[in-house]
Amino acid sequence: MPTLDINGKPIRVDEAPDTPLLWVLRDTLRLTGTKYSCGMGLCGACTVHVDGQPVRSCITPIAAAAGKKIVTIEGVGESRAARVAQAVEEAWRRLDVVQCGYCQPGQIMSAVALLEENPRPTDADIDAAMAGNLCRCGTYVRIRAAIHEAAKSLA
Amino acid sequence: MTILDKLAAEPTTPSQEAHIENHSRRRFLQGVAGLTLAIYLPGGARAATPASSTGPLFEPNAFLRIGVDNSVTVIAKHLEMGQGTHTGLATVLAEELDAAWEQVKVEGAPADARRYNNLLWGSVQGTGGSTAMANSWEQMRRAGAMGRAMLVGAAAQKWRVPAAGITVADGVVSHPASGRRATFGELAQAAAEQPLPAEVRLKSPQEFKLIGRHVPRKDSAEKVKGTAIFTQDVHLPGMLTAVVAHPPRFGARLKRFDAAKTKAVKGVVDVVAVPSGVAVLAKDTWSARKGRDALVVEWDEASGYQGSSENIFARYREMAQKPGSIARKDGDPEAVFAGAAKVLKAAYDFPYLAHAAMEPLDCVVKLSADGCEIWNGEQMQTLDQAKVAELLGLEPEQVKLHMLYAGGSFGRRASKHADYVLEAVHIARAIGGKAPVKLVWLREDDMQAGYYRPAFHHVLEAAIDAEGRLLGWRHRLVGQSINADSPMSGLMKDGIDLTSVEGAATLPYDIPNLVVDLHTPQDVGVPVLWWRSVGSTHTAYSTEAFLDEVAAAMGQDPVRLRLELLKKHPRHAAVLRLAAEKAGWGTPLPPGKPGERRGRGVAVHESFRSCVAQVAEVTVQADGSLKVDRIVAAVDCGIAINPDNVRSQVEGSVGFALSALLYGAITLEGGQVQQSNFHDYALLRINEMPEVEVHILASAAPPTGIGEPGVPPVAPAVANAIAAATGKRLRRLPIDPAELKA
Ligand code: FES
Ligand code: FES
């Protein structure tokens, strides 16, 4: 029975070890900010941080996440990445990035991970870090602008 | 005996409080606290009354609730699926109410055709056709103005001063002469006793403080935090999640299934047959999915669809040989074509397209002894409500709808047959209503279960006379009707589905001899549906790409020729001029790196009563790969209620349309859909997104659509830019880079 460290809390779950982390988060723990969209690692809607790295939770079995620090959109504002997360969320709100909003928790988790590692990303850095996150509403222009804006506010 | 009689007869389940158990947002379904001011509009010709949280809160046309806590709640009759409808509706109402934007909240309206119908759709409540702002403009302004008048009336009575001396600004009612002030909350109770004003004065545009300015979206904060609730996120006590095995081809039926292995999967609770397939119900989504993987199902495939995209296009090309039903005819095209000095001709193919919203289809249903509750991001509230009621043998009022956000829709949730909603209800009924059911379509189900943008074949011809004038235009379209079997069949005129020919039969160009005709193939067997910007998704492409070709053949500049032909259409001409000017049309494009070919192209199109022109700049590599560098758009959508949202919608439309142009195709082979997920139905990614510049034409006209009109010009503008760069005219979508190799 694996124990998961989610948003700083140890949580025992009794799902099979090959169960994708996504469904444990969403259905068992009801942390529904992390979204399901493709289930195949193709869209990034399910992005969470595992030991600070952006990870597709839909293709991450809980066995692979056990013993590591898992952070979801619900906890990122109080995580080690809190300062960056707050700047990113603020920029997202200021620029009204969202449309339907369904992809946005995943976008934000990827953006926070990018800025944690690279405080002044170029457009090419943004392309590389964010190309795994689909947005059907096409909010990409604003995602790019919001990442630059968050970077500026953190400088 | 209906299922509900049965439930009433055997009360086996303890009644469950229908609240959403969700750690992201616990307070979701809390009741309304405090006294409220209910605003009645004409039709409910009586004074407003204070409402308690138990009584029926509002009668006809209730859009506003002011709480003693000083909150202003705007009731939104339209779905928020990304286009900013909630913010737009609230802006318009708050403007006339003179509320402070910060005190305004938005709540989704229940299903009610009487109070919340779309005024452009008769008695139907629903969201689509970019009508949300257009139909609500007057209604929401009046609702706000009445609220304001009643607050002023209450203050005048309380302070014993003439109403004329009272001002309202930013949620505060003041009497400057005496220095008295009160918040809306302080006046709410007294205002609720005020008589309904017979007349209200609406502001003139110069008085607007919110409309036309930047106001932040109301849904930003919760969507950024991940606390916004989509159907996918609903958890009800005791709820089961259902994943359905659908037949592998449209129209195939279930022969038999063996659920033994499925029932052995941990978490699986039940397996039931429903008309659309076999549903596996489990405690969670993953178990349901594993259960479905283990299911042994046999289908009667002989009854199912056996065709292919290639057959369909071959049939359409064949049909296009003969004239179809005439949608529009001006002058004498036959004579002009017979005597033309030059005739140009081009044929275009457009594939089926999936909506592929990021939130796959889903719906939550709870049956009880006296009704049915639905949690969903509903695009067709009252039509779905009526269909559910019919299925369950209930009155529509017994079907209660809880409106949630939709994680995109683009038309898919405007299901003409309520397909996924009824599937969820069937499942809930098949298990005897013993648990609430959340139906979840996995991405593959969403991609393969049909209801696509119909495939179309177009043939266009232009006649040019000896003096080089464009005198004749023939346009033939072949494609399935979306509306024929829908509740919108009123949009059929003499066998012609107006949405099949919109943008073609409404060609704005002044060409004296013109004919547009349509073939509507029957029994194709592939379900089709409205898809963001509907007919204009293909008609804008064929007309604007072909006109560009005609301009080239005539040796004319594409912008100049269009302006020449648009003398009777000043809105089109104005956006075209603005886009061309802002894009630097006529100035040389900076060259690319060695081996790169660059080009600029233009298109203009009217849809949903808005006019949009776009100039695209592209770079084509030697290997045929393509980058769209920049789109400059100019928009006339009447008064821009929220200019930032207009820009955001056009930016998003660019991304949406480019996905279709570059990658979008649902293809059928041997009767089966070939695509299943984002690896074979690709969507645009951030690295492929162009810069987008949006210019809004100043207008004093009432607002027209903005959710869709940004889409149609994108693909033809890019195609025309590609032609400028490479000389290649692309007539089959999506683009095949092999055609663009140097
Ligand atoms: S849901 Fe995990 S990448 Fe799409
Ligand atoms: S905001 Fe709708 S998918 Fe990104």
Residue in the block written with tokens 């709870």:
B366
Task: Note the pLDDT of residue B21.
Answer: 57
Kindly report the CATH number assigned to the domain that includes residue B486: 3.30.365.10
Q: How many CA atoms lie within 13 A of B532 on its CB side?
A: 33
Measured in angstroms, the CA of B68 and the nearest CA of chain A are apart by 28
Do both B125 and B61 map to the same domain? Answer: yes
* Residues B596-604, mean pLDDT to the nearest whole number: 98
CA B248, CA A125: separation in Å to the nearest integer? 42
Kindly tell me if the per-residue pLDDT of B197 is higher than 90: no
Task: Note the pLDDT of residue A1.
Answer: 66
Kindly tell me if the per-residue pLDDT of B49 is higher than 70: no
Residue B445 lies in a domain: no
**DSSP bridge pairs for B613:** B604, B634
Kindly tell me if the per-residue pLDDT of B466 is higher than 50: yes
Sheet containing B456-464: which strands, arranged edge to edge? B325-330, B513-519, B470-479, B456-464, B342-350
Do both B134 and B187 map to the same domain? Answer: yes
Query: Cβ–Cβ of A137/B223 closer than 8 Å?
Result: no
CA B186, CA B164: separation in Å to the nearest integer? 20
Query: Cβ–Cβ of B408/A100 closer than 8 Å?
Result: yes
Q: Of ligand 1's atoms, which has the minimum distance to the CA of residue A42? A: 3
Kindly tell me if the per-residue pLDDT of B53 is higher than 60: no
Query: Cβ–Cβ of A89/B225 closer than 8 Å?
Result: yes
Give the residue from B181, B207, B223 where a domain finishes: B223
Residue B105 lies in a domain: yes
* Residues A5-32, mean pLDDT to the nearest whole number: 97
DSSP letter for B566, please: T
Query: Cβ–Cβ of B689/A138 closer than 8 Å?
Result: yes
Q: Of ligand 2's atoms, which has the minimum distance to the CA of residue A97? A: 1
CA B36, CA B33: separation in Å to the nearest integer? 8
Give the residue, B11 or A110, on which the prediction is more confident: A110
In chain A, the residue whose alpha carbon lies closest to the alpha carbon of B20 is A30
Percentage of chain B beyond pLDDT 90 is 83
Count CB neighbours of B156 within 10 A: 18
Kindly tell me if the per-residue pLDDT of B437 is higher than 90: yes
Q: Which residues of A touch B217 (CB under 8 A)?
A: 96, 98
Residue B317 lies in a domain: yes
Residue B446 lies in a domain: no
Task: Note the pLDDT of residue B22.
Answer: 53
Interface test with A, best of B28, B79, B222, B223 (most A CBs within 10 A): B223
Do both B558 and B664 map to the same domain? Answer: yes
Task: Note the pLDDT of residue B55.
Answer: 28
Residues B55-85 as b or e (16 or more Cβ within 10 Å = b): eeebbebbbbbbbbebbbbbbbbbbbbbbbb
Confirm or reject: Cβ of A152 under 6 Å from ligand 2.
no
Percentage of chain A beyond pLDDT 90 is 99
Between CA B311 and CA B316, with CA B315 as vertex, the angle to 5 degrees is 120
Is B655's Cβ below 8 Å from some Cβ in A?
yes
Cα of A152 vs centre of ligand 1, distance in Å, is 29
Of the partner residues A38, A101, A137, the one whose CB lies closest to the CB of residue B228 = A101
Do both B188 and B205 map to the same domain? Answer: yes
Query: Cβ–Cβ of B358/A102 closer than 8 Å?
Result: yes
Q: For B321, phi and psi rounded to 5 degrees?
A: -70, -30
Do both B208 and B323 map to the same domain? Answer: no
Query: Cβ–Cβ of A31/B23 closer than 8 Å?
Result: yes
Q: Which of A23, A25, A40 to mutate to test the pocket of ligand 1 (most atoms within 8 A of CB)?
A: A40
Do both B588 and B562 map to the same domain? Answer: yes
Which bound ligand lies closest to the C-alpha atom of A42?
A: 1
Do both B339 and B215 map to the same domain? Answer: no
Of the partner residues A36, A92, A143, the one whose CB lies closest to the CB of residue B686 = A143
Do both B468 and B428 map to the same domain? Answer: no
pLDDT tens digits along B225-239: 999 999 999 999 999
Of the partner residues A30, A31, A45, the one whose CB lies closest to the CB of residue B358 = A45
CA dihedral A8, A13, A17, A23 (to 10 degrees): -80
CA B287, CA B289: separation in Å to the nearest integer? 5
Q: Which of B79, B358, B648, B685 to mutate to test the pocket of ligand 2 (most atoms within 8 A of CB)?
A: B358
Confirm or reject: Cβ of B67 under 6 Å from ligand 2.
no
Kindly tell me if the per-residue pLDDT of B52 is higher than 60: no
Q: Which residues of B touch A137 (CB under 8 A)?
A: 82, 358, 408, 652, 655-656
- Secondary structure (DSSP) of B170-234: TTEEEETTTTEEEEHHHHHHHHTTSPPPS--PPPPGGG-SSTTS----TTHHHHHHT-PPBGGG-
Cis geometry, peptide bond prior to residue B702 (ω within 30 degrees of 0): no
Residue B448 lies in a domain: no
Q: Of ligand 2's atoms, which has the minimum distance to the CA of residue B408? A: 2
Which bound ligand lies closest to the C-alpha atom of B686?
A: 2
Distance of CA A155 to CAs A53, A70, A94, Å? 22, 27, 17
Number of domains in chain B: 3
Q: For B583, phi and psi rounded to 5 degrees?
A: -85, -5
Size of interface A-B (CB pairs under 8 A): 190
Nearest to B529 by CA among B452, B477, B455: B452
* Residues B558-563, mean pLDDT to the nearest whole number: 98
Q: Which of A27, A34, A46 to mutate to test the pocket of ligand 1 (most atoms within 8 A of CB)?
A: A46
Q: How many residues does chain B have?
A: 742
**Residues near ligand 1 (Cβ within 6 A):** A 36-39, 41-46, 56, 58
CA dihedral B9, B11, B15, B16 (to 10 degrees): -100
In chain B, the residue whose alpha carbon lies closest to the alpha carbon of A25 is B23
Of the partner residues A100, A101, A126, the one whose CB lies closest to the CB of residue B686 = A126
Cα of A59 vs centre of ligand 1, distance in Å, is 8
Query: Cβ–Cβ of B219/A137 closer than 8 Å?
Result: no
The separation between CA B287 and the C-alpha centre of its own chain, rounded to angstroms, equals 33
H or E element: which one contains A123? helix A123-130
* Residues B617-639, mean pLDDT to the nearest whole number: 97
CATH of A3-76, one of 3.30.70.141, 3.10.20.30, 3.40.50.150, 3.40.50.10860: 3.10.20.30
Do both B344 and B366 map to the same domain? Answer: no
Does residue B342 sit in helix, strand or coil?
strand
Cα of A29 vs centre of ligand 2, distance in Å, is 24
3-state helix, strand, coil in chain B (%, to 5): 30, 25, 45
Kindly tell me if the per-residue pLDDT of B14 is higher than 70: no
Cα of B140 vs centre of ligand 2, distance in Å, is 27
Between CA B80 and CA B86, with CA B84 as vertex, the angle to 5 degrees is 60
Interface test with A, best of B235, B686, B689 (most A CBs within 10 A): B686
Query: Cβ–Cβ of A99/B83 closer than 8 Å?
Result: yes
Boundaries of every domain in chain A:
3-76, 77-154
Residue B447 lies in a domain: no
Query: Cβ–Cβ of B229/A32 closer than 8 Å?
Result: yes
CB neighbour list of residue B15: distance below 8 Å, 6 or more residues apart: B368
Give the residue from B380, B413, B440 where a domain finishes: B440
Residue in the block written with tokens 């289930």:
A39
Query: Residue B410: what residue type?
Result: F
Task: Note the pLDDT of residue B29.
Answer: 27
Between CA B190 and CA B28, with CA B69 as vertex, the angle to 5 degrees is 130
If contacts are CB pairs under 8 Å, which of residues 197-236 in chain B contact chain A? 216-217, 219-221, 223-230, 232-233, 235
Measured in angstroms, the CA of A4 and the nearest CA of chain B are apart by 17
Confirm or reject: Cβ of A24 under 6 Å from ligand 2.
no
Structure tokens given for A95: 């620029």
Which bound ligand lies closest to the C-alpha atom of B356?
A: 2
Q: Which residues of A touch B357 (CB under 8 A)?
A: 100, 102, 136
Domain assignment of residue B181, given as a range:
6-223
Do both B193 and B69 map to the same domain? Answer: yes
CA B666, CA B681: separation in Å to the nearest integer? 7
Do both B210 and B238 map to the same domain? Answer: no
Do both B429 and B458 map to the same domain? Answer: no
pLDDT tens digits along B316-359: 999 999 999 999 999 999 999 999 999 999 999 999 999 999 99
* Residues B170-192, mean pLDDT to the nearest whole number: 94
Q: Using only C-alpha atoms, what is the Rg of chain A?
A: 15
Distance of CA B500 to CAs B117, B528, B735, Å? 25, 12, 22
Nearest to B438 by CA among B334, B361, B505: B361
Of B149-163, B180-194, B711-725, the one with minimum mean pLDDT is B180-194
Mode of pairing for the β-strands spanning B72-76 and B104-108: parallel
DSSP letter for B683, please: -
Structure tokens given for B92: 């318009």
Is B5's Cβ below 8 Å from some Cβ in A?
no
Kindly tell me if the per-residue pLDDT of B10 is higher than 50: no
Q: Give the fold, CATH level 3, of A77-154.
A: DNA polymerase; domain 1 (1.10.150)
Cα of B487 vs centre of ligand 1, distance in Å, is 35
In chain B, the residue whose alpha carbon lies closest to the alpha carbon of A93 is B220
The separation between CA B515 and the C-alpha centre of its own chain, rounded to angstroms, equals 30
Distance of CA A122 to CAs A113, A144, A148, B6, B687, Å? 15, 10, 8, 64, 12
Task: Note the pLDDT of residue B54.
Answer: 29
CA B99, CA B143: separation in Å to the nearest integer? 13
Average per-residue pLDDT in chain B? 91
Measured in angstroms, the CA of A67 and the nearest CA of chain B are apart by 22
Task: Note the pLDDT of residue A2.
Answer: 80
